[in-house]
Amino acid sequence: MKKLFYLLAVFSLLVSCVSKKNQVIKQNILTLKDSYCKAPFKYNYSNRIPSYNADSILAANKELQGMFSDQSILILNALDNLDEVHQIIDLKKDLSIASQVKVLQLKTKINSKITIALTELDAVAAEFDCEGERVAQIGNYVDNLNDSKNNKLILLSIVTGAAASVAGGIISDGGWSNAVDISGGVLGAGFGLATLNPKGKKVEFIHQRNLLRDIWREKLESPNFPPFIWYMYTEKKFSNKEKHSIISSMKKRWLHYQFDDIKTAADQSVIFSDGGFYRANDLHNRAAMLNQMQSATRTINQNINYLLLDLDKLIL
């Protein structure tokens, strides 16, 4: 009987420690529930998206194709700098100091627009990065909650089996002893099976400013993205094979890898809503998708880098 008392005392202490840990975890979840990643100041970008008629733009600027790549010409058009480039080409024919000064002034004007575009790219990539870290943190907390639950159930299973064994030794009557052993085994097995729950715990996670929703719907329905960034996401000429836009290709990968090609499940997923109750798997999927968009956003810098190189060749 004394052994049973000590066993129960140890069990109570362990359960108390797990409970305190869960309280800390839940408090941390509350601090991560609402986004701290959105900018403190909301800038009202123009709603005008650059023209998607890439072939017409390139045809109207054939004289630039020997000096600039197609992507560079389209970026110049998106930044509304094609007129400045044409003026520079004309001024280069005049070797006077006045013409050279004017060329530098026009290049400064173009560089100013490019600088704004680069800062927009950095801002969007930084928000994707921040949101990804926020989701990863809360995902780890939910993993810890699930681990704590499983550990508690495993502990219950061990203690139940041990208690049944001790009780069986104390009870002298053979029939009662067997009954206790069997009951303890059934309870222990029940607690063990409970740890196999594949879904785990849920946690509320809010993201009214949902960066992934517009990407999934392939429509700019919010002020989340500057028009230039959205143009770069959605113009096919900026993708590797020029058959699908950056976000169209991204959407196909998400559908295949995150949602097993079940579009209905994807459309109804909490990931593309204003937020709700997430399980650990959904949180890890969201974190992966945010990180993928961060990488895709940063690759746009390569196109702008090529444009800057082309501009330098034009001026020299």
Write out pLDDT tens, residues 4-52: 455 455 445 545 554 555 555 555 555 555 567 777 667 677 778 888 9
Q: What is residue 204's predicted lDDT score, i.e. its pLDDT?
A: 86
Q: How far is CA 71 from CA 111, 116, 118, 206, 307, in A?
A: 17, 18, 16, 38, 8
The pLDDT > 70 percentage for the chain reads: 70
Question: What string of H, E and C letters represents the secondary structure of 55-112?
Answer: HHHHHHCHHHCCCCCHHHHHHHHHCCCHHHHHHHHHHCCCCCHHHHHHHHHHHHHHHH
pLDDT, average across residues 300-313: 94
Q: What is residue 253's predicted lDDT score, i.e. its pLDDT?
A: 96
Q: What is residue 177's predicted lDDT score, i.e. its pLDDT?
A: 47
Output 308 or 6, whichever has higher pLDDT: 308
Output 95 or 86, whichever has higher pLDDT: 86
Span of 42-46, 182-186, 222-226, 251-255 with lowest mean pLDDT: 182-186
- Provide φ and ψ at 167, rounded to 5°: -65, -40
Output 18 or 251, whichever has higher pLDDT: 251
Output 60 or 178, whichever has higher pLDDT: 60
- pLDDT band (50, 70, 90) for residue 311: very high
* Whole-prediction pTM: 0.76
pLDDT, average across residues 144-154: 56
Q: What is the pLDDT of residues 126-144, one digit of tens each?
A: 999 999 999 998 888 888 7
Q: What is residue 257's predicted lDDT score, i.e. its pLDDT?
A: 94
Contact 69, 58 (CB under 8 A): no
Q: What is residue 221's predicted lDDT score, i.e. its pLDDT?
A: 87
Q: What is the pLDDT of residues 164-215, one digit of tens each?
A: 444 444 555 555 445 444 444 444 433 333 333 445 678 888 888 899 999 9
Res 271 pLDDT > 90? yes
Q: What is residue 269's predicted lDDT score, i.e. its pLDDT?
A: 96
The pLDDT > 90 percentage for the chain reads: 54
Q: What is residue 139's predicted lDDT score, i.e. its pLDDT?
A: 87
Q: Closest by alpha carbon to 293, among 133, 135, 125, 134?
A: 125
Q: Sketch the domain layout of the chain as residue ranges.
A: 39-47+116-143+201-315
Q: What is residue 24's predicted lDDT score, i.e. its pLDDT?
A: 52
